[in-house]
Amino acid sequence: TQLLEQSPQFLSIQEGENLTVYCNSSSVFSSLQWYRQEPGEGPVLLVTVVTGGEVKKLKRLTFQFGDARKDSSLHITAAQPGDTGLYLCAGPRNFGKGTSLLVTP
């Protein structure tokens, strides 16, 4: 089983701040996905990273895949209350425990 560790587990920030969440493993992944989940809903795919060193941007969200394809990060610029949710990284069939983000006005 390829374990994925996410940090921090919880994050509470004010609107306008920047933040980074991390996803780490001792295993090499062919690809990693990032999902966002809101209460009462299923996870929604944000991005898939495939190539080591790859950087993808989705509006204010920047995703990076580590050169060795063992880790990934998600950076949010100028967070908004609408960014509140559980951010999950995932490999094939396994998920991290998630980072629960709360952005207050």
Q: Interface with another protein by CB under 8 A: which residues?
A: 1, 6, 31, 33, 35, 40-45, 48, 88, 90, 92-98
CA 93 from centroid of its chain's CA atoms: 16
> Tokens for 103?
């952005």
Question: Which residue number, 14 or 51, has a Cβ lying nearer to another protein?
Answer: 51
Cis amide leading into 39 (omega within 30): no
Q: Please, what is the minimum distance in Å from the beta carbon of residue 45 to another protein?
A: 5
Question: Which residue number, 2 or 77, has a Cβ lying nearer to another protein?
Answer: 2
Cβ contacts of residue 83 below 8 Å, gap of 6+? Answer: 60, 76, 101, 103
Q: Please, what is the minimum distance in Å from the beta carbon of residue 16 to another protein?
A: 27
